[in-house]
Amino acid sequence: MPRYLTMVRIDETTAPAEGPSEGLMQRMGALIEEMTKAGVLLDTAGLTPTAQGKRVRYEKGEITVTDGPFTESKEVVGGYAILQTKDEAECLEWTKRFLRVHEEHWTVTSEVRQIMEG
């Protein structure tokens, strides 16, 4: 069965400063439990804000390291999940369910990419 990486992109400038609400965390926890029991969720995690991150770039033989936050980025990866589903359509259905647990004031995009095997 194919595996997919879903990168959850958020706009840090409009995300609630206090982070996800208790209700959102409960709904997300219930969905994660359901996905785990269904055998489709292999791994998932949220990421710290970009202010705590670094970017490492290789260009023309040189490496540079830039401290966050990354002001030139509007959307950033706020978390990820690795799913193993029978096909892309099933992965997209689980991804849509994940996005729907968020309140309306969130702007969340999930980029879904199949993991290359072998």
Domain ranges of the chain: 3-114
pLDDT of residue 83: 98
For residues 68 and 54, is the Cβ–Cβ distance under 8 A?
yes
For residues 94 and 82, is the Cβ–Cβ distance under 8 A?
no
Nearest by Cα to 1 from 95, 115, 110:
115
Q: Which CATH number does 3-114 carry?
A: 3.30.70.1060
Q: Would the pLDDT of 102 be above 80?
A: yes
Q: How many CB atoms lie within 10 A of CB 81?
A: 23
* Residue 84: strand pairing partners: 3
Map residue 17 onto helix, strand or coil: coil
Cis bond upstream, residue 16 (ω within 30) = no
Distance (Å, whole) CA 13 – CA 111: 19
Q: What is the pLDDT of residues 8-58, one digit of tens each?
A: 999 887 788 888 899 999 999 999 999 999 999 999 999 988 889 999 999
Q: Would the pLDDT of 1 be above 80?
A: yes
pLDDT of residue 82: 98
Using 50, 70 and 90 to split pLDDT, how confident is the model at 69?
confident
